[in-house]
């Protein structure tokens, strides 16, 4: 069983503990790149696990990565005795991307009393280092009591 958040826990530690319980993200190979209050950056390498029939990243994988980045940005500002759940998100896919990796940056737009609004940008980083913005997302997240 995971231990509850401690008063001295950093945003990175809090998010890392939560990510370790994310079966889908572990399965796909997502990794935290940066976590600071109000922002989270998560990467996802290309693999057959994250692909669709045309050989590019599956939209579901792109959406899941954006959801995680935005949700974890929200978690960094949520009360310490809570987790967060997504209420909704809207995503625009801008480009199909093959190989390389995805990098999603989630940011808190508004930290409200009952909900937190976030946005995320998902960029594709090709093997040669070229970056392409491939999706943008807006999300509403709600803090909920921890269930552990």
Quote the pTM value. 0.91
Give a yes or no: residue 17 inside a domain. yes
Give a yes or no: residue 6 inside a domain. no
* pLDDT > 80? residue 37: yes
Q: Please give the residue range of the domain that contains residue 126.
A: 11-145
Residue 10's pLDDT band (cuts 50, 70, 90): very high
pLDDT digits (tens, 9 = 90+) for 46-84: 999 998 999 999 999 999 999 999 999 999 999 999 999
Give a yes or no: residue 21 inside a domain. yes
Residue 136 contacts residue 64 (beta carbons within 8 Å): no
pLDDT digits (tens, 9 = 90+) for 85-133: 999 999 999 999 999 999 999 999 999 999 999 999 999 999 999 999 9
User: What does the radius of gyration of the chain's CA atoms come to, in whole angstroms?
Assistant: 15
The residues, any chain, with a CB within 8 Å of residue 104's CB and separated by 6 or more, are 41, 42, 43, 44, 65, 66, 68, 69, 120, 121, 122, 123
> How many structural domains are present in the chain?
1
Give a yes or no: residue 3 inside a domain. no
Give a yes or no: residue 139 inside a domain. yes
* pLDDT > 90? residue 147: no
* pLDDT > 90? residue 6: no
| CATH code, domain with 111 | 3.10.129.10
């Amino acid at each position: 069983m995971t231990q509850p958040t401690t008063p001295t826990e950093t945003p990175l530690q809090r998010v890392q503990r939560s990510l370790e319980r994310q079966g889908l993200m572990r399965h796909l190979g997502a990794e935290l790149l940066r976590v600071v209050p109000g922002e989270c950056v998560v990467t996802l390498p290309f693999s057959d696990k994250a692909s669709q029939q045309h050989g590019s990243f599956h939209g579901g994988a792109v959406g899941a990565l954006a959801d995680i980045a935005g949700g974890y940005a929200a978690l960094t500002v949520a009360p310490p005795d809570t987790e967060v759940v997504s209420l909704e998100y809207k995503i625009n896919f801008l480009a199909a991307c093959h190989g390389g990796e995805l990098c999603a940056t989630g940011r808190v737009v508004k930290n409200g009393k009952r909900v937190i609004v976030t946005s995320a940008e998902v960029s594709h980083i090709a093997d040669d280092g070229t970056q392409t913005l491939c999706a943008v997302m807006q999300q509403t997240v709600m803090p909920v009591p921890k269930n552990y």
